[in-house]
Amino acid sequence: MKKIEEQLESIEEVLSLVIRKNASIENLIQTATESQNKTFADTLIELKRDLKQHLSSQHLETYLSEIKQALVTVPKTSEVQHHHHLDLRSRGFIISAAMLLITTAISIAVAISSHTESSRLQESDLKFRIARQLSPALTAKADSMYYKDPDRAEFETQKREAHELTVKEAEAMLKQRQAEARKAQDRLKQLKTE
């Protein structure tokens, strides 16, 4: 963690140095441009004065050639190109970004899980309130049993659910066997009548 913080601090220092140098370069470019523009403007003013004084065609051609030469010698504005790339020095930034993405994904998963659990608990609460309205004595007994000994209440509930499941399975098996017995009797009657 300290290494990441040190890397971030060194990156911040480098960035502040680059920003300062960039500002000084921009000031130099602006100053050079202003001085060139001023020189160019002064030259044009002198040329206009000279043109007004000497309107002969000979002087006009020489002045035009001088103007063309002056325009050729004026440098074009320089373009500054920025290249953005990732290298070994930007490893700290990449690790930080990955950690932020992982943290965000985990936070979203926890939020979704909490929302799902909250919805389930609201459903259980509504079911219990309905049961309380339908049978207040039974829900009061369930409440008291739970508050006295929650572990025993859970054990008793599981025991009763298992017993009820066993009874239902036995009833289903009985019905199946009775249906099979009826089919066998029908088949026997059919065979006797043949």
The radius of gyration computed from the CA coordinates of the chain, to the nearest angstrom, equals: 47
Confidence label for 62 from pLDDT (cuts 50, 70 and 90):
confident
Instruction: List for the chain the helix, strand, coil content (%; round to 5).
Output: 90, 0, 10
Segment 146-155, tens digit of pLDDT: 888 888 888 8
Does residue 177 fall inside a structural domain?
A: no
- Both 57 and 120 in one domain: the answer is no
Do 37 and 67 belong together in one domain? yes
* pLDDT tens per residue, range 150-186: 888 888 888 888 999 999 999 999 999 999 989 989 8
Domain with 12, as residue range(s), is 2-75
Same domain, 62 and 117: no
Q: Which of the four pLDDT bands, split at 50, 70 and 90, describes residue 76? A: low
Phi/psi for 75 (5° steps) reads -75, 150
Taking the CA atoms of residue 96, residue 100, residue 102 and residue 108 in that order, the dihedral angle to the nearest 10 degrees is 180
What confidence tens digit (pLDDT) does each residue in 109-122 have? 999 999 999 999 99
Q: Are the C-beta atoms of 92 and 11 separated by less than 8 Å?
A: yes
Of the three residues 42, 75, 108, the one that is the final residue of a domain is 75
Q: Kindly state whether residue 183 falls inside one of the protein's structural domains.
A: no
* Domain-embedded: residue 181: no
pTM (2 d.p.): 0.36
Asked whether 95 and 46 are in contact (CB, 8 A), the reply is no
What's the domain count of the chain? 2
Farthest CA pair distance, the chain: 144
Are residues 68 and 8 both part of a single domain?
yes
Residue 83 lies in a domain: no
| Residue 70 shares a structural domain with residue 122 | no
Same domain, 71 and 9: yes
CA–CA–CA angle 125, 131, 132 (5° rounding): 85
